[in-house]
Amino acid sequence: MASLITLAILIRGTTTASQIGMALNIVLVANTTLLSLVTLWTNLEISLGDISRLKNLEANTPTEHEPHENNMAVDNSWPSSGLVEFDNVTVEYNPDAVALRNINLKVVAGQQSIICGCTGRSGKSTLLLALLRLLDVKSRAIKVDGIDISLVPRSLVRQRCFITVIQDPFVLAHRPVFGSTLIAMTSLPQLSTGQTQIFTLAQAILSLEGLKTATGISEAHQRGCANANAMLILLLDEATSSLDPGTEAVIGGIMRREFVEKGHTTIAITHRVSETLQVGGRGMIVQLDGGRIERVDDTA
């Protein structure tokens, strides 16, 4: 710009004021354009870096699926009743952290079972993680309707067998995620833990009803859920622990009406066997301690 002004002064008389004004304007526009170009180029470089990192992550992250799993063909109607069996199951996070030891348990189809035990060391959540195949069973097997779930592709186990409300739910905004039912789905803003758990349950109920009135769910997903087997097993990890007693009672009523009375197997983890989750004469209360079954009260 300075050289333009110098030129205009040196060759005075050859240019008009408006020409100089126009030239100055062009210089200013060119300046802004160059600045935008540099910004866009920098953004492009950052985005290319992100893509490269994502591709690396995808290429280098080992898949959780094991080759033998894909060969296991299960009947389309599996699971048809919801019988869950733990056959001498041991689960460990690592050799020094054995979380479940020799668990033998049979949850009869349609039964409501409550798993309780001390905070932090009983292995309650581990039991659910093993059912969802997020942890591998070290010895023997977990069977659903007689089929060893370690032989079935994990995605199939999660989609076909379980509706899960996890202990520490998280929400992926704008993600219609419900396939594995591990993650609450929502396109709502931030929800608190209790709200997310209620939301997950609400979606679970909708999925059982073919997602008739659900909004924000992709068509493909709706098709997937509509095709899903109706005999899903409900897994609840402290699903009502962050709710007030009134809301807990309401949720308990909904669970009884929508799941227990409709014959779905329910496995609920709780610290307090409150009125809401009382098995009311039917079902089973399992007491875990240090990864072992301490006591089973079967009132079926």
Residue ranges that bind ligand ATP, judged by CB under 6 A? 93, 97, 99, 117, 119-126, 167
**From 111, 112, 113, 125, residue interacting with Mg ion (rule: CB under 5 A):** 125
The span from the CA of 74 to the CA of 63, in Å, is: 21
Would you say 206 or 267 has its CB closer to ligand ATP? 267
Torsion angle in degrees (nearest 10) through CA of 78, 79, 81, 85: 130
Would you say 61 or 119 has its CB closer to ligand ATP? 119
41 binds, options ligand ATP, Mg ion, none, Cβ within 5 to 8 A by partner type: none
Q: Which among 72-80, 117-125, 217-225, 253-261 is the span making contact with Mg ion, rule CB under 5 A? A: 117-125
Would you say 120 or 246 has its CB closer to ligand ATP? 120
Q: How near is the Cβ of 45 to Mg ion at its closest, in Å?
A: 44
Q: How near is the Cβ of 102 to ligand ATP at its closest, in Å?
A: 15
| Total residues found in the chain within this entry | 300
Would you say 37 or 118 has its CB closer to Mg ion? 118
Q: Which residues of 171-190 are buried (b: 16+ CB within 10 A; e: fewer)?
A: beeeebbbbbbbbbbbeeee
Would you say 67 or 95 has its CB closer to ligand ATP? 95
Q: How near is the Cβ of 119 to Mg ion at its closest, in Å?
A: 8
Chain position whose Cβ is nearest to Mg ion: 125
For residue 144, report the phi and psi dihedrals to the nearest 5 degrees: -120, 120
Q: Which residues of 197-217 are buried (b: 16+ CB within 10 A; e: fewer)?
A: bbbbbebbbbbbeebeebeeb
Distances (CA, A) of 255 to 127, 159, 196, 250: 21, 20, 16, 9
126 binds, options ligand ATP, Mg ion, none, Cβ within 5 to 8 A by partner type: ligand ATP
Contact 103, 127 (CB under 8 A): yes
List the interface residues with Mg ion, window 130-189 (CB under 5 A).
167
What is the size of the binding site for Mg ion (CB under 5 A)? Answer: 2
Q: How near is the Cβ of 125 to ligand ATP at its closest, in Å?
A: 3
Q: How near is the Cβ of 203 to ligand ATP at its closest, in Å?
A: 23
Token pair, residue 148, equals 């060893």
Q: Which among 104-112, 119-127, 203-211, 245-253 is the span making contact with Mg ion, rule CB under 5 A? A: 119-127
4 binds, options Mg ion, ligand ATP, none, Cβ within 5 to 8 A by partner type: none
Ramachandran sector of residue 249 (left: φ over 0; alpha: ψ -120 to 50; beta: rest): alpha
Q: How near is the Cβ of 274 to Mg ion at its closest, in Å?
A: 17
Which candidate, 227, 252, 285, places its Cα nearest to that of 111? 285
Would you say 8 or 98 has its CB closer to ligand ATP? 98
Q: How near is the Cβ of 277 to ligand ATP at its closest, in Å?
A: 15
Token pair, residue 235, equals 């897994």
Distances (CA, A) of 28 to 2, 3, 21, 81, 144: 12, 13, 11, 74, 72
| Residue 126 engages Mg ion in binding (rule: CB under 5 A) | no
Q: Which residues of 54-66 are buried (b: 16+ CB within 10 A; e: fewer)?
A: eeeeeeeeeeeee
Which candidate, 86, 76, 225, 237, places its Cα nearest to that of 149? 86
Q: How near is the Cβ of 170 to ligand ATP at its closest, in Å?
A: 16
Footprint on this chain of Mg ion (rule: CB under 5 A): 125, 167
